[in-house]
Structure 1
Amino acid sequence: MVLRCFLVDDSPHFLTAARALLEQQGFLVVGTASTADEAVLRVRDSRPDAVLIDVELGDESGFDVARRLAQETGLDRSRLVMISTHAEVDLRELIAAAPVAGFLPKSRLSAAAVRRLLGDGSGAGDSS
């Protein structure tokens, strides 16, 4: 099964690199956004299987974006993943309180890591 993924990050360079990596590993990136408003509109339209959300989006909090996505799009928390260059230990309480499946460091981003975090047992594209 091809997993349909959406990326939310304020870095155009990261969005380009993450899209290339995930698509090379079998995901279909159905959209990107760099702000909360953009993310809510585009996620609502694209209905992805998973949304990867950067913790820091310029002046906006990725945790606020996750809450808005859960409330305004109806996307289940099990499909939302926080990503960051920061260490998980520094964000543990915020992650636990957020409506997300969990956290993935940007340095460990891969299709397999996203599938494991989402609990996707299909194994499709899980070759990395």
Structure 2
Amino acid sequence: MTVRVMVVDDHPMWRDAVESDLTRAGYEVVAVAANGREALARFAATEPDLVVLDLQIPAPDGVAVTTDIIDRRPQTRVLVLSASGEQDDVLAAVTAGATGYLVKSASREELLAAVARVADGEPVFTAGLAGLVLGEFQRRSAAEPDEPRLTDRETEVLRMVAKGMSYRAIAERLVLSHRTVQNHVQNVLRKLQMHNRVELTRYAIERGLDVDDEV
């Protein structure tokens, strides 16, 4: 199936160039946007499979847009394409839910390769950034206290949430009521001291839960 992509950048020439490269490579560019507000509105209207996104865009910025996108539709992949390679920007983007991060000095070939890999759910980073991200998450993990134990059912529900399944779909798969699934999710959020599906998804990925397996 053709991968449906949205391109978000406030620089028209750059945005048009990325759109053109993706179209020539066989991707379907379903929307473009110049700021965070446009991005969220057009994302809701088109529900792309992948978003190529600049961080430094008019409000809301790229980190906030990434958070909102993953919260609305966790199966959508986000590839950040930014002029900044600063550690804080990279970590903020990954924590928000971005699957990949490239700096704008990347070549056309590197961009297209990254889009293909991110579309498959594979993390992609400009050289040197992957080690930075891994090292930071390992540091944070080592600093965390022992985590509360989840029941087998809670873990099962967590994996399905991380796959982007709706509560209704989870209920049908597990032959449970919609309310029971909601209760399980609320229990997991409470135990892990988290607030939303985005945080649960990041938790599942960072802890190595095999969210790509069929459930």
Q: Number of paired residues?
A: 119
Structure-2 residue corresponding to 1:95: 93
The residue identity in structure 2 corresponding to 1:25 is A
The 1-side partners of 2:41 and 2:76 are apart by 20
Whichever structure has more strand as a proportion of its residues is 1
If asked which structure has higher relative contact order (CA below 8 Å, sep 6+), I would say: 1
The 2-side partners of 1:119 and 1:88 are apart by 26
Structure-2 residue corresponding to 1:115: 116
Give the superposition deviation at 1:80. 1.4
The 2-side partners of 1:51 and 1:59 are apart by 17
Structure-2 residue corresponding to 1:34: 34
Give the superposition deviation at 1:102. 2.1
Q: Does the 8 A contact of 1:88 with 1:105 survive in 2?
A: no
The residue identity in structure 1 corresponding to 2:114 is A
The 2-side partners of 1:88 and 1:106 are apart by 13
Secondary structure of the structure 2 residue equivalent to 1:56:
coil
The 1-side partners of 2:89 and 2:75 are apart by 17
TM-score scaled by structure 2?
A: 0.50
Gaps of 5+ in 2: 123-215
Give the superposition deviation at 1:90. 5.7
Structure-1 residue corresponding to 2:159: none
Which region of structure 1 is more displaced relative to structure 2, 23-32 or 89-98?
89-98
Structure-1 residue corresponding to 2:25: 25
Between the aligned residues of both structures, percent identity stands at 29
Larger Rg: 2
Structure-1 residue corresponding to 2:63: 63
Gaps of 5+ in 1: 122-128
Q: Does the 8 A contact of 2:49 with 2:76 survive in 1?
A: no
The 2-side partners of 1:88 and 1:29 are apart by 28
Secondary structure of the structure 1 residue equivalent to 2:102:
strand
Which region of structure 1 is more displaced relative to structure 2, 41-50 or 102-111?
102-111
Q: Does the 8 A contact of 1:88 with 1:103 survive in 2?
A: no
The 1-side partners of 2:85 and 2:75 are apart by 21
Which region of structure 1 is more displaced relative to structure 2, 56-65 or 85-94?
85-94
1:78-114 CA-partner distances (Å, limit 9, x unpaired): 5112110222646332133212212122332533211
TM-score scaled by structure 1?
A: 0.79
The 1:78/1:38 distance shift into structure 2, 3 A limit, reads closer
Whichever structure has more helix as a proportion of its residues is 2
Q: Does the 8 A contact of 1:101 with 1:118 survive in 2?
A: no
Q: Does the 8 A contact of 2:49 with 2:75 survive in 1?
A: no
